[in-house]
Structure 1
Amino acid sequence: MEIQLTKCHGSGNDFLLIDEMTHGYTFTEEERRDLSLLLCDRDSEFGADGILFVGSSDKADAKMRVFNSDGSEASMCGNGLRCVGRYVCELLNKDEIIVETMKADLKVNQEQEIYEGLPTYKVEISPVLFDVDSLPMNIDQETLQNEIVPSISDTLSFTALAVPNPHLISIVTPDQLALQEEMAKKLNGPNEICPDGVNVSFVCPIKEGEIYVRTFERGVGFTNACGTAMSASTLTTCLLGLNQMEAVIDVYNPGGKVRCAAHKKADGSYFIDLIGNATYLYHAKLDVELSNSNVKILSKADLEEQANYEKLEVHAKEYLDSTLFA
C-alpha cells in the first residue's frame, strides 16, 4: 500500500502523521498496530514515539487516534494533538478547531510563538479524573494526592490522576531523578498496582512559575516530553501550592519547553492549557508491505523548521544547567 505521511514533533516527542481525511485510507485495527510497530521502530529510517491517525469526525473538525511505538493505542496525547491541530487548521484554513479524541472533544487554536520561528498551538487537556480506578490503580483508597505508596517507594510521594491518560506524579529533587527508571519499568511491566501500565513523571520545581518534568511514558519509555504528563504535572504543583491556578507556567523537559496553565471550572472540575510547538521535519510517500515488513521510500521532502526548534532546545538546556542542575 502507498502511504503519505508527515514526520512531526511537539517538544521533541516525535510522530508520524497519517491523513485519512484527504487520502481515504481504510486501515484495519491490525494494520494500525502493525504500521506502528514497523514504522516507529527506532532502528528503522522513520523511528518515532507513535503514529497520529487523522480522520474525519461526525461531531468535530477531525478525529485523532494515537498508536504508540509498541502498537498499543493511547487515549490521548497532548504533544500529538498540537501537531494534529496544526495540520487540520492549515488543511481547513482555520485558526481554531475541535478535535475528537477517544475520551473528549478538545479545542485547539493557533497561539503566539513560544519561541521565535516556531509554529505554536494551544490545546485543551481534559477531562481530569482523580479516582484511582480511572487509571486503574489497585490501592486501598479512592484517591492519591502527594502520598507514599509503600509498594512503590518508601520515600517518594505520588499523586495519581488521569487526563485522561493515567499518570503518577512525584515532586522530587534533581538527585532523586536516578530513582525513576527502575520504578517506572516496574509499574509498566507485569504488576498488580497498575496492571495496564502508567505514565510516571518526576517533577523538579525550579522556582514559582517554572518546573522541570521528565516522563517515562507508558508504551514508549523515556521520551523527550509527554504533553499530558506536563499538563498533569502543572496541575499537581498548583494543587500542592507550589504554583498558582490560572497562571502560565514554564514547563521545561528533556525536549525543550512548553507552557501550561491549570484552570478550575465552576462545577469544580479541572482542565489544563498546553501551549507549545508543532514542528514538521519532512513529508514522505512510502510503499509499505506489512506481510513481509518491507518499506520502500517513493519520495521524501525534508523541511527546515527543525533549526528553529534546536535554538529552543539549546536555550532550555543552558537555562536548566545554570539553575536546576548547577
Structure 2
Amino acid sequence: MRFAFHKMHGLGNDFVVIDARSAPVVIDAGVARGICDRRQGIGCDQLILIEAADGADAAMRIWNPDGSEAGACGNASRCVAMLLGDGAAIDTPGGRITARVAGDLIEIDMGLPRFHWEAVPLAYPLDTLDVPVGWGDLGHGTALSVGNPHIVFFVAEDAEVDLATLGPLIEHDALFPERINVGVARVTGSSAIRLDVWERGAGLTRACGTGACAAAVAAVRRRLVNGPVTVTLPGGDLEIDWTPGTSIRMRGPATHVFTGEADLGAFA
C-alpha cells in the first residue's frame, strides 16, 4: 500500500504527517519506528497521523521514534493546523485543541494544564510545584501535564547541565509511571526563558512545543516571570500565554518542507 505524506517542521522539530482522513493508513509501533528512522526510513522526530473524528475537524495521533505513542505535541499541532486551516478543532490523546492561523504564525489553544500528582502522573503523592527529589545537578522541579507529562527544572543562566545523560535517567525513573519529558529552563528576563528539552521517547530535540508550554506555566506558577512568556529553544522562539485558571495559548511558526509518497510495506 502506498501512502502520501507531508514533511514538516516547527522550529526544527520535524515530522512526517500522513493525512488518513479519506484513506485509512494502519500504523503500529514497528511501522512508526521504520518511518522515523533517519537512515533507513523517511526520518523525523515524530510520526503524525491525521484521522477523521466525530465532533472535530480531525484527530491526531503521535508516534515517537521508539514506537511509543505520545499524548500531545505542540509543534506538530501547529503543522497539522497549517494543513487543516484557521479555526480547526483537533482531537488528541491529551484532549481537544483548537487553532487560529494568523499570517505566518499559528496559535494553538492547548487547553488547561493539570497539576494534581495523579494527573501528571506521579507514582505517589508529592507537591508538584516543588518536587522534593533530584537527579545529579537537577532537583526540585515542577511537574505538570499539558496533555503529556513534564517536569521542569530551573537553573542559573550560566549553569551547565548534561541533559543528554540526566534526561534518560529522569524519563525512566520509577517516580513517573508513564515516563516524562524533561525541561531545563533558565530565566533570562522578566518574560523570557531559555529552554532545553529531553523529549520522552525521542531524546534531545531542537524544539518542544508542549515543553515550552510546561516551562512557561511552571515559571508563572513559581513567580519567576510574567506572561506572556517568550520561550527560546535551540530551534527558535515560541510565545506562551497563560494565567491561572485559563487555557494555555501557544504561538509560533510551522513550515511545510515537501510532499512525497512511500510504500507502507517497506517499513513493516
Is 1:234 matched with 2:216?
yes
- 1:275 matched to which residue of 2? 251
Pick the aligned partner of 1:107 from 98, 115, 121: 98
- 1:138 CA displacement: 2.5
Q: Which amino acid aligns with 1:107?
A: T
Structure-2 change in CA distance of 1:79 and 1:155 (3 Å): closer
**Unpaired stretches in structure 2, ≥5 consecutive residues:** none
- 1:148 matched to which residue of 2? 132
Question: Does structure 1 conserve the Cα–Cα contact (< 8 Å) formed by 2:24 and 2:51?
Answer: no
- 2:182 matched to which residue of 1? 200
- 2:123 matched to which residue of 1? 138
Distance across 2 between alignment mates of 1:100 and 1:288: 25
TM-score of the pair, normalised by structure 1: 0.77
- 1:225 matched to which residue of 2? 207
Q: Which amino acid aligns with 2:263?
A: D
Question: Does structure 2 conserve the Cα–Cα contact (< 8 Å) formed by 1:108 and 1:124?
Answer: yes
Distance across 1 between alignment mates of 2:232 and 2:250: 13
Distance across 1 between alignment mates of 2:3 and 2:50: 13
Structure-2 change in CA distance of 1:103 and 1:147 (3 Å): closer
TM-score of the pair, normalised by structure 2: 0.93
Question: Does structure 2 conserve the Cα–Cα contact (< 8 Å) formed by 1:161 and 1:168?
Answer: yes
Pick the aligned partner of 1:254 from 210, 234, 240: 234
Question: Does structure 2 conserve the Cα–Cα contact (< 8 Å) formed by 1:122 and 1:276?
Answer: yes
| 3-state SS of paired residue (1:148) | coil
Deviates more, 1:178-187 or 1:212-221: 178-187
| 3-state SS of paired residue (2:264) | strand
Deviations 1:249-304 (A, max 9, x none): 2111011111111133xxxx3421111111011100112324xx48xxxxxxxxxx
Pick the aligned partner of 1:98 from 89, 101, 104: 89
- 1:284 matched to which residue of 2? 260
Is 1:126 matched with 2:111?
yes
Question: Does structure 2 conserve the Cα–Cα contact (< 8 Å) formed by 1:14 and 1:50?
Answer: yes
- 1:175 CA displacement: 4.1
Counting helix residues as a fraction of each chain, which structure ranks higher?
1
- 1:146 CA displacement: 3.0
- 1:34 matched to which residue of 2? 30
Deviations 1:169-226 (A, max 9, x none): 011124434243322211233x321232100000011111111111000000001111
The list of structure 1 runs, each at least 4 consecutive aligned residues, that deviate by more than 4 angstroms after superposition, is none
Distance across 2 between alignment mates of 1:40 and 1:154: 32
Question: Does structure 2 conserve the Cα–Cα contact (< 8 Å) formed by 1:51 and 1:68?
Answer: yes
Distance across 2 between alignment mates of 1:9 and 1:234: 22
RMSD, aligned α-carbons: 1.9
Question: Does structure 2 conserve the Cα–Cα contact (< 8 Å) formed by 1:177 and 1:202?
Answer: no
| 3-state SS of paired residue (1:228) | helix
Q: Which amino acid aligns with 2:156?
A: T
Distance across 1 between alignment mates of 2:49 and 2:221: 34
- 1:153 CA displacement: 4.9
Q: What percent of counterpart residues are identical? A: 27
Structure-2 change in CA distance of 1:219 and 1:155 (3 Å): closer
Q: Which amino acid aligns with 2:91?
A: E
